[in-house]
Amino acid sequence: MGWGDIYRRRIRVFTMAIVIYLDYKGVQQRDKWTSKSRQAALWEKAHERNAKRVLNLIIEMEGLWVKLGQYMSTRADVLPAAYIRLLKQLQDSLPPRPLEEVYGTIQKELGKSMDELFADFVNEPLATASIAQVHRATLLNGQEVVVKVQHDGIKTVILEDLKNAKSIVDWIAWAEPQYNFNPMIDEWCKEAPKELDFNHEAENTRTVATNLGCRNQYDGNMSANRVDVLIPDVIQSTEKVLVLEYMDGIRLNDLESLEAFGVNKQKIVEEITRAYAHQIYVDGFFNGDPHPGNFLVSKESPHRPILLDFGLTKRLSSTIKQALAKMFLASTEGDHVALLSAFAEMGLKLRLDMPEQAMEVTTVFFRSTTPANEYHKTMKSLAEQRDKNMKVIQEKMKLDKKEMKRFNPVDAFPGDIVIFGRVLNLLRGLSSSMNVRIIYMDIMRPFAESVLSGYISRGPSVNDRWIFDSPVHSEVESKLRQLLIELGNNDKILGIQVCAYKDEEVIIDTAAGVLGKYDPRPVKPDSLFPVFSVTKGITAGMVHWMVDNGQLNLEDNVANIWPGFGSNGKDLIKVHHVLNHTSGLHNAMGDITQENPLLMLDWDGCLNCISQSVPETEPGKEQFYHYLSFGWLCGGIIEHASGKKFQEILEEAIIRPLHIEGELYVGIPPGVESRLAALTVDTDDLSKLSALSNRSDLPSTFQPQQIAQVATTLPVVFNTLNARRAIIPAGNGHLSARALARYYAALANGGKLPPPHSSASKPLLGSHPHIPKLNSSQKVPKKRKCIGRKQATVPAVSTNRSYEKVSCSDDLEADEGSNINRQSSSSDDTSSSRIGNNLKTHVAGKVYRNPRIIDEFLGTGDYENLALPNGGFGLGFKRFTSKDGSSIAFGHSGMGGSTGFCDVTNKFSIAVTLNKMSFGGVTGKIVQLVCSELNIPVPDDFLRFAVEQRGEDAQLQMGRPMIN
């Protein structure tokens, strides 16, 4: 092809593109002035007119444009009937190439004459496609074959067409920015040239046939993931000639023959869909060109699909394959967290945080197919959904119509999923053209589940990477890892983190297992685990920080701080009563877990419930665990006393001083979904717990039976995005074990900050931006007003919300600057200096300035009159006792087994986070091992789980699950 031909070809294509574009723009204008009764006819004529233009151009141009036409001809679900009817001619029905050209290519490629190769060669081609044509032949040994022969000079044509297609897509993206197809054409430019080497296709054919376990004889084996399709054997191949086994079959577009042979079209299309689900999710290697011309149906019963043409294939990495499976399952289950996590894993980046709209788009992507006769209904539904989503985006981004026209919500589109999307659309079009309805979610789900469970079930016994590859800090950590492997092999651990400090140094920092039952990615040191009531220890620390700053007094009446709280006999409740679990409000809000668990997500609603509650006991007289009310009591006190939002105090008091940005949240912000662990329940522990009798030391609404019931619903509720983003100050902490251990290491030393966390732990603790940012087309002003600050003497309760940015402009700019610096540098020395520069606390190197702060935590010494004598709780923390009473220890555990505590006497702190909820057994064994190895007394709360108990002793231990 000379430059003149290339130039003329390019002009022809661009001219036709402009003509069709202007034609439809004109029809859009005429439609406004046309009566409704004539609008349909107006558009039908336009579709007919332009479909003929497209068909004539494709036949004239051949090459890549035939591929485009074949693709369009399968989209009966979304394209007008005129395009489908006319473009169907392109499915292997192009004008054949001259026989002289075909013979010449065969003899040149195979190095022999036609007589030396074939006993018989049928001159009339079986099919002529964009790249090659296929002839039936008989080898000298009598075997029936088909010979696929590449068109002469087609490589130059295809490469030129790709350039032209890329230019057209660039032009469309400029003219209509919402229709930016560049990621798709870029991926096609990368993959399409591979079709020009038939050696590549031959190898692909063998690989797919092996992966699918194809057999020429039906064996009756129809296990869940077994597919029943046929693929021809490869006889011989060169770059331009491919010889395959001949299989006699019926073309999918020959509906009359299919009916005559009694073929069940529904079953055939379902089996083709299953074959592709296997290729994508199980094998990670799939044919990217499933148009009707690439399928036959065997004439013998049972009729089976015959898969052809494996020139355009795509290989997926394990990461992308898992992410696609996770995206599919997230769509079927409506799991926003898993969906956003899957997007992050596959490299799909959005410019704004709109999980509901992302879910709707994904659900449409995997929607059931519709017959061709429902085209108008489908298109109307899709258009309405798109308009609705774009309107929401416009309102959220505050864009005018002109800005909205040029706004694209996708920031980065991964090339790996372009061919995947094309395959799903081709299969959808295939179903529509065959007039059958395919429910993708039913057919593909077993394959998506199997690939994830296959990775997850590979526990430590068969997965040498089950323990995350990080340095071993001590001998005790080596022994701990052996224990974790043992527990993992016994199916007691799904995912876990353990971190410990001794004498201000990190001695353990281990992560192991996977992030969830449908998430086979490894747990890393910076993974975020939901820890439930562990959050109470953090919230209590915030209250003490405010006392330390003079913003609050432990003996203040809560009603004097919080307007409206003093109603219904609560006027005598003081701050220390709340911290000591002696306010008498232990059952407050207890009924919401049964009546309306989602009320926990409503900040104002919960504070109002607390304000209206009635105490059951006199303040300071009886100690009952305030399992739900504690957080809301503390949260209300914090916000009303400070005039700031809860999250702002969290950042100011704990996160920034300890330099644990990005690894401790109470309610997650947008952008961290890919680091979240998903919850599940140890059903063995749950069944034991539900059979136990009541305990006198727990609130009446928090007995073993209720605990078991709550534990059953917690994963369902707290795996949702709305729950994870909510500010629940008693139970919605999302954090890493290393952030929690550092917090307790500081508390163990009277608030003194420990040295920077181990630089061997990657990524470095504090290296994540605390508030991940999604790109926006809007300009952000340099100066911002403080959010959450109130000028009134008694500030109002803050509004309902999930996580929001709460710092003032100066702090925000400093944080963003430090985050940029942290991300751009990887040296340990630089990291250490950044940690020092980032500390923002009132006393250098300390979180608290009170020299008796530990007595304050425990309610001892000068503070013993503020705590119930011999009670299990101090002021906000659980007192941990040991048999010999030789050490002072405190902390807080959470439902499911996560914990954090410190031993002040031995300058020791430890944190355990896990996602398979149990009731103390796993955590007890870990704590017992670590403490024993360090000659530190094991707190009774954990020691009772260290050894398997039987009989009445087992009942006693299970009757005191580690939940507070």
pLDDT tens digits for range 307-350 = 999 988 889 988 888 888 988 888 887 788 888 888 888 888 77
Q: Round to the nearest angstrom and report the end-to-end CA distance of the chain.
A: 78
Give me the chain's average pLDDT, please: 80
536 phi and psi, to 5 degrees? Answer: -60, -40
Q: Which helix (H) or strand (E) holds 681?
A: strand 680-681
Tell me the domain boundaries of the chain.
1-92+156-193, 99-152, 324-453, 476-767+847-944
| DSSP secondary structure code for residue 294 in this structure | G
Model pLDDT, residue 564: 87
CB 271 within 8 A of CB 304: yes
Are 382 and 367 in contact by the 8 Å Cβ rule? The answer is no
Establish how many alpha carbons lie within 13 A of residue 31's alpha carbon, considering only the half-sphere containing its beta carbon: 14
* Average pLDDT of span 95-100: 89
Q: Tell me the mean pLDDT in the region 356-371.
A: 65
Alpha-carbon gap, residue 769 to 818, rounded angstroms: 9
Rounded Cα distance between 225 and 199, Å, is 29
Q: Above 60 in pLDDT, residue 651?
A: yes
What pLDDT does residue 154 have? Answer: 85
pLDDT at 703 > cutoff 80:
no
Q: What is the pLDDT of residue 828?
A: 37
Mean pLDDT of 620-642: 93
Which tens digit of pLDDT belongs to each residue from 259-304? 999 999 999 999 999 999 999 999 999 988 777 778 999 998 889 9
Which pairing describes strands 680-681 and 916-917: parallel, antiparallel, or unpaired? Answer: parallel
Backbone φ/ψ region at 565: left (φ over 0), alpha (ψ -120 to 50), beta: alpha
**Angle at 139 (CA atoms; ends 136, 141), nearest 5 degrees:** 145
Tokens of 296: 């036959």
| pLDDT of the residue at 945 | 61
| Per-residue pLDDT at 775 exceeds 50 | no
Tokens of 879: 């007192």
For residue 900, what is the enclosing H or E element? strand 899-903
Run of H or E including 574: none
Task: Write down the pLDDT at residue 465.
Answer: 83
Give catalytic residue positions. 289
The string over 620-640, giving b where at least 16 C-beta atoms fall within 10 Å of a residue's C-beta and e elsewhere, is: beebbbbbbbbbbbbbbbbbb
Q: pLDDT value at position 54?
A: 85
pLDDT > 70: percent of the chain: 75
| Residue 746 host element (H or E) | helix 737-748
Spell out the residues 6+ positions from residue 116 whose beta carbon is closer than 8 angstroms to its own.
Answer: none
User: DSSP assignment, residue 516?
Assistant: E
Q: What local confidence, expressed as pLDDT, does residue 277 receive?
A: 92
Q: What is the 3-state secondary structure (H, E, C) of 346-366?
A: HCCEECCCCHHHHHHHHHHHC
Residue 516: is its pLDDT beyond 90? no
Residue ranges of the alpha helices (H) in 33-153?
36-61, 64-73, 81-87, 99-110, 114-117
Give bridge partners of residue 236 from the DSSP assignment: 243
Q: Is the pLDDT of residue 22 over 80?
A: yes
Candidates 158, 106, 97, 101; CA nearest to 128 is: 97
Lowest mean pLDDT among 408-417, 485-494, 497-506, 611-620: 408-417
Overall size of the chain counted in residues:
964
What is the C-alpha to C-alpha distance for residues 291 and 312, in angstroms, rounded to an integer? 12
> Which of 380-394, 450-464, 906-920 has the lowest average pLDDT?
380-394
* pLDDT band, residue 954 (cuts 50/70/90): very low
Q: How confident is the model at residue 369 (pLDDT cuts 50, 70, 90)?
A: low
Q: What is the mean pLDDT of residues 535-554?
A: 97
Q: What order of strands is seen across the sheet that includes strand 529-530?
A: 529-530, 733-735, 664-666
Closest C-alpha among 335, 913, 389 to residue 673: 335
Q: How confident is the model at residue 832 (pLDDT cuts 50, 70, 90)?
A: very low
Strand partners, 296: 251, 306
**C-alpha span between 13 and 283 (Å, rounded):** 38
DSSP three-state, residue 313: strand
pLDDT of 841 over the 80 cut: no
Task: With cut-offs at 50, 70 and 90, classify the pLDDT of residue 855.
Answer: very high
**pLDDT (0 to 100) of residue 545:** 97
Q: CB of 278 within 8 A of CB of 316?
A: no
DSSP for 851-900, written as a single string:
TTHHHHHHT-GGGGGGS-TT-SB-SSSEEE--TT--S-EEEEE-TTS-EE
Q: Indicate whether 412 pLDDT > 70.
A: no
Q: Could you read off the pLDDT of 718-737 as tens digits, one per residue?
A: 778 888 999 999 889 999 99
Separation of alpha carbons 511 and 677, rounded Å:
12
Q: How much is the average pLDDT of 765-792?
A: 49
Task: Record the tokens describing residue 194, joined without a space.
Answer: 């591979």
Structure confidence by residue, pLDDT tens digits, 146-178: 999 999 988 888 777 777 777 877 777 676 665
Rounded CA-CA distance 518/325 in Å is 9
SS3 400: coil
Can you give the pLDDT at residue 905?
96
pLDDT for res 786: 29
Range name among 549-563, 665-679, 943-957 with the lowest pLDDT average: 943-957
> What does the pLDDT read at residue 688?
61
Query: What pTM did the predictor assign?
Result: 0.71
Handedness of CA 206, 208, 210, 214 (dihedral sign): negative
3-31 average pLDDT score: 80
- Secondary structure element (H or E) that encloses residue 305, with its range: strand 305-307
Residue 179 has pLDDT above 80, yes or no: no
Which one, of 300, 709, 737, lies nearest residue 534 by Cα? 737
Does the pLDDT value for residue 414 go beyond 80?
A: no
Ramachandran sector of residue 951 (left: φ over 0; alpha: ψ -120 to 50; beta: rest): left
CATH of domain 476-767+847-944: 3.40.710.10
Q: Residue 404: is its pLDDT beyond 70? A: no
Which tens digit of pLDDT belongs to each residue from 115-140?
Answer: 999 999 999 999 887 788 999 999 99
Mean of pLDDT values over 626-633 = 92
Please work out, in degrees rounded to the nearest 5, the angle formed at the alpha carbon of residue 741 by the alpha carbons of 905 and 924: 75
Q: What band does 394 get if pLDDT is binned at 50, 70 and 90?
A: low
Burial class (CB in 10 A: 0-12, 13-18, 19+), 772: middle
pLDDT at 9: 73
pLDDT at 661: 95
Residue 64, pLDDT above cutoff 80: no
**429/478: higher pLDDT:** 478
Residue 586 and residue 625 in contact, taking contact as beta carbons nearer than 8 Å: yes
Average pLDDT over residues 39-50: 87
855 touches 862 (CB < 8 A): yes
Predicted local confidence at residue 813, as pLDDT: 33
What percent of the chain has a predicted confidence (pLDDT) above 90?
42
